[in-house]
Structure 1
Amino acid sequence: MVQDQGESTVLPEALLKIAKRELREDRCTREQCLEQLRNWVAKNEDLRNVRCDDTFLLRFLRAKKFSVPMAEQTLLKYLNIRRTFPHMSTQLDYLEPRLGDLIDQGYIFAVPQRDKHGRRVVVINAKGLNPKIHTSCDQAKAHFLTYECLMEDQETQITGLTHVGDFAGVTTAHVTNWNPTEFARIFKWGEQSLPMRHKEIHLINVPSTLKWLIDFVKNRVSSKMKNRLIIYGSEKELMKSVDQGCLPLEMGGKVPMREMIELWKQELATKRDLILGLDKSTLLSDRGIQRKSSFNAEKASTGGPNFVSQIESIEGSFRKLEFD
């Protein structure tokens, strides 16, 4: 077990009010739950070298509104997804050439400014990924790296994230880049394993031939997530919902994307050692992860027992599509 690395960051009063209102967090709750979770980590024989500093443990407590049992389960699932998909979720080094190239191309980055809600805005730019060069593994690592970096910030843990996805330039190859079975498993586990608060998801320039896939995905996430995903027909519509200052110049904002990317790389540099250090954490067994009855669990989390075959059918369909 990694020893506690210090007290929680001192947070502004306005942020503490948000934490109280949305997460049921106050000083007493925070201290008691941290102690309980830290003791649980220390006693759990299936865990090795898990960080026990406040910032790391608060990821899980805040994501589950300070329900310690739920935070414990999310921590186990988080470690399990890293253990099961190490090729996608570990060795997250922005200096590694393939991953660094995706970042340089602006495939995914966090805007330096916070929006009016105090949230970081994550931009996903399909043009920044060349499926002839980058694999689904590269793509997944870029996402994991982004979220690991952002979750090291306690303000972001409290306020959550806003996502803006620009699908301009999407081709059939972007979709068929993924192995259907692996995509299904990542999709199934991702929402329940990563301790993040996705507050808004805005999509723009979605080809008509891709909208039915998004509907397919929406039908297999929680109703809360489904209601937070909105597709826009134009940048003007998008800017009614997302602060203009939080969009790159190329999407109707004011700051050039290249400038935002360079600032993001500086942020990744400051967190590089922390993120790489996460690879020391080990889950020896998944026996502590609670599971519902197999049929109900699969139906609830994937939309039915034939989820993988449905994904394979989608891949086959996409190979026949031509995008506008």
Structure 2
Amino acid sequence: MFECFLEIAFEAEVLTEEHPELQELARQLVHEDPATRPAAIQELRDMIYERGECAPRRMDDAFLLRFLRARRFVVPRAHKQLVRYCRFLEQYPELYRDVDLWGLARVGCAYEGCMLDRPGVGRVTILRFGTWNPDDYPVEELVKVGMAMMEIGLRSPKMQVLGGTVIVDMAGITMKHVATLTPTIAYQIVCLMGLAIPCVMHSCHIVNYNWLLNTFFFLFKRFIPKKAWKMIHFHGHDLESLHQLVDPECLPPRYGGTCRHHATIGTWFNKIRKYRDESFDRDMKEFGWVIKE
């Protein structure tokens, strides 16, 4: 039975339909009003044309809606987010252009996701970079995976509304790992966690760290906006501290949780490949990824 439910969850990852029950959640979580939504989308579209600060690859309602939801329907803030997003894509095309999407599954368990999506927590994504061997592939591959995860996830209206929570598990991190983190890589990771990508980020939790934390975090501090620091929490090895802010039902057993609906990024990519449709392939190819059969 458990495997069946998990398979249904994987199949739903590529769906882009808006279900009626999402409407009330959108009203509560991102201040979305169905009556005024068309006007807000048009206001954002007009602002893009009038200000000329960016040239999005798409201008349709569904695409612009991502940015409005990410900024709780405050149109000027949504426009700023869109400008940052477009500039990020222009600055780092190597993160997606001509990248073999299915080949990214090779990162295995460096990322993990809990698919018990809840309001206030959303999708729990776990970064376990200590499981990555820098001799196997460069750190840039990890950033490409993060980029793909965000773009695939944000195709889903549910993920646009529910957002996500990030856990950075530093178990196994060594100086060899830290040495790969250039300022550019640190900036790209911060951008993917909400600075540039239009996502609702609830919180970020740092666990299982040692004396390397200061060196590790020094590279990131300069890129994290001051207002975002209130969302970052340091727990050390204290799982009870983590549980006070993230419901254990949304966490895998490794972190004292009870969620069985979790999978490594390697499994997730393989399931996306299995359940994708023509719309998915078209969207990703238009973006720049290579979709091999």
What's the TM-score, normalizing by structure 1? 0.69
- Give the C-alpha shift of residue 144 in structure 1: 0.8
Pick the aligned partner of 2:80 from 73, 81, 97.
73
Would the aligned equivalents of 1:120 and 1:161 in 2 still touch at CA under 8 Å? yes
- In structure 2, the CA distance between the partners of 1:246 and 1:23, relative to structure 1 (3 Å rule), is closer
Q: Secondary structure at the residue paired with 1:208?
A: coil
Deviates further, 189-198 or 147-156:
189-198
- In structure 2, the CA distance between the partners of 1:241 and 1:64, relative to structure 1 (3 Å rule), is closer
Q: Secondary structure at the residue paired with 1:131?
A: coil
Q: In structure 1, how many angstroms separate the alpha carbons of the residues matched to 2:70 and 2:149?
A: 17
- In structure 2, the CA distance between the partners of 1:121 and 1:91, relative to structure 1 (3 Å rule), is farther
Would the aligned equivalents of 2:110 and 2:132 in 1 still touch at CA under 8 Å? yes
- In structure 2, the CA distance between the partners of 1:165 and 1:269, relative to structure 1 (3 Å rule), is farther
Q: In structure 1, how many angstroms separate the alpha carbons of the residues matched to 2:169 and 2:76?
A: 37
- Give the C-alpha shift of residue 22 in structure 1: 4.4
Would the aligned equivalents of 1:82 and 1:90 in 2 still touch at CA under 8 Å? no
Aligned twin of 1:84: 91
Q: In structure 2, how many angstroms separate the alpha carbons of the residues matched to 1:265 and 1:76?
A: 32
Aligned twin of 1:293: none
- Give the C-alpha shift of residue 204 in structure 1: 1.0
Q: In structure 2, how many angstroms separate the alpha carbons of the residues matched to 1:32 and 1:270?
A: 34
Determine whether 1:277 maps to 2:279.
no
Deviates further, 122-131 or 230-239:
230-239
Identity %: 22
- Give the C-alpha shift of residue 175 in structure 1: 1.6
- Give the C-alpha shift of residue 168 in structure 1: 0.3
Pick the aligned partner of 1:246 from 250, 259, 282.
250
CA RMSD of aligned residues (A): 3.3
Q: In structure 1, how many angstroms separate the alpha carbons of the residues matched to 2:286 and 2:110?
A: 24
Determine whether 1:111 maps to 2:96.
no
Determine whether 1:101 maps to 2:110.
no
When Rg is computed on C-alpha atoms for both structures, the one with the higher figure is 1
Q: Secondary structure at the residue paired with 1:152?
A: coil
- Give the C-alpha shift of residue 112 in structure 1: 1.7
- Give the C-alpha shift of residue 184 in structure 1: 5.9
Pick the aligned partner of 1:23 from 30, 35, 46.
30
Q: Secondary structure at the residue paired with 2:102?
A: coil
Would the aligned equivalents of 2:44 and 2:79 in 1 still touch at CA under 8 Å? yes
- Give the C-alpha shift of residue 262 in structure 1: 2.7
Would the aligned equivalents of 1:202 and 1:229 in 2 still touch at CA under 8 Å? yes
Q: In structure 2, how many angstroms separate the alpha carbons of the residues matched to 1:268 and 1:195?
A: 24
Aligned twin of 1:52: 60
Give the 5 Å matches for 1:127-276.
Answer: 127-180=130-183, 182-183=184-185, 185-186=187-188, 191-211=194-214, 213-214=216-217, 217-218=220-221, 220-232=223-235, 233-254=237-258, 255=260, 262-263=267-268, 265-267=270-272, 270=275, 273=281, 274-276=283-285
Paired letter, 1:275? M
Deviates further, 207-216 or 36-45:
36-45
- Give the C-alpha shift of residue 111 in structure 1: 1.6
Paired letter, 2:287? L
Q: Residues 107-163 of structure 1: CA distance to partner in whole angstroms, max 9, x if unpaired?
A: 113322113636111111123321122212101101111111221121221222111
- In structure 2, the CA distance between the partners of 1:78 and 1:69, relative to structure 1 (3 Å rule), is same
Q: In structure 2, how many angstroms separate the alpha carbons of the residues matched to 1:100 and 1:187?
A: 18
- Give the C-alpha shift of residue 251 in structure 1: 3.3
Q: In structure 2, how many angstroms separate the alpha carbons of the residues matched to 1:74 and 1:91?
A: 25
What's the TM-score, normalizing by structure 2? 0.75
Would the aligned equivalents of 1:166 and 1:203 in 2 still touch at CA under 8 Å? yes
Q: Secondary structure at the residue paired with 1:62?
A: helix
- Give the C-alpha shift of residue 27 in structure 1: 1.1
Structure 1 gaps of 5+ residues are 1-6, 281-324
Deviates further, 217-226 or 158-167:
217-226
Q: In structure 1, how many angstroms separate the alpha carbons of the residues matched to 2:189 and 2:92?
A: 12
Paired letter, 2:229? K
Would the aligned equivalents of 2:170 and 2:206 in 1 still touch at CA under 8 Å? yes
- Give the C-alpha shift of residue 212 in structure 1: 5.8
Would the aligned equivalents of 2:121 and 2:165 in 1 still touch at CA under 8 Å? no
Structure 2 gaps of 5+ residues are 1-15
Q: In structure 2, how many angstroms separate the alpha carbons of the residues matched to 1:133 and 1:261?
A: 15
Would the aligned equivalents of 2:67 and 2:198 in 1 still touch at CA under 8 Å? yes
- Give the C-alpha shift of residue 165 in structure 1: 1.7
